[in-house]
Amino acid sequence: MTAIDIGGTWTRVRSGDTLTRFPSEPDYGRQLRALIAAVPAGTSAIGVSFGGRVTPAGAVRVALNLRGYEGRPLAADLSDALGVPVRVAHDATCGLLGECAAGALRGFERCGYLTLSTGVGAALRLGTVHLTTEAGHQLIAGNERPCDCGQIGCLQTLTGGSALHRRLGRPLEDVDDPHFWRAYASSLALGVANFALNAGLEAVALGGAIALRRPALWPPLRESLAELLTYQRVTVVPAELGEEAPLLGAALLPGLPEAAILH
């Protein structure tokens, strides 16, 4: 069994105890060749966590950070090349699966996962069903920034790494201004609160590099959430599995019934 995580910036391939990591290729053909080379012989099945929307058959529908993949039959191409079954799901759905199975969301029937990295992905669990949502593209009042998706005012323009890198002229890991991070926490809290309230969630886990590598984000985030969530309290915690959550979720995909994932 091999698990693959294709993000907007990095791709990781795990088989047993071996982890291979390389930059995600914008060119679909080159990425496909790199994946085929990274999967070891003897693999029985492949689960893929992908940073974009996919069809139930594993074709790429929307990939704002990997436009060259759109319309490509990723699952079929990998399966044909390697001769094994391949199942693909959105990376947020895979992160959710991982956290529900072995992380911060164990025991919750109504919960969500939000990943903050190159973009903003989200997925929620309602009982036995796991589905991708567009929480990163919810519209925030007063926000007039254009998003890569074509809308004006998406949460992702305020909290996504790629959008903020373009606006600031430097990556977020180089930004230490506490005023910036307080404003970031306020925007994120509004998005998390809307995400949780709309689906009646009991808990939300935040994953991705931005949420997990900046501990100073959490105090102002929790303060903002406490001010907003007066109607229904929601447990909001860091993803316990960290960046391993999407890989673990991808590893679970081949064994899940089709009805467990809504794309």
Residues 79-100 have pLDDT tens digits of: 999 999 999 999 999 999 999 9
243 has a pLDDT exceeding 90: no
**pLDDT 10s digits, 146-155:** 999 999 999 9
pLDDT, residue 138, reads 96
Closest by CA position to 124, among listed 185, 203, 236, 187 = 203
Q: Is the dihedral of CA 78, 80, 85, 88 positive or negative?
A: positive
Q: Could you please report the per-residue DSSP string of 150-164?
A: S-BSBTHHHH-HHHH
Q: How far is the CA of 211 from the CAs of 4, 82, 91, 151, in angstroms?
A: 21, 35, 15, 24
Q: How far apart are CA 78 and CA 245, in angstroms?
A: 22
* Cβ(50)–Cβ(6) below 8 Å: yes
Q: What pTM was estimated for this model as a whole?
A: 0.94
8 has a pLDDT exceeding 90: no
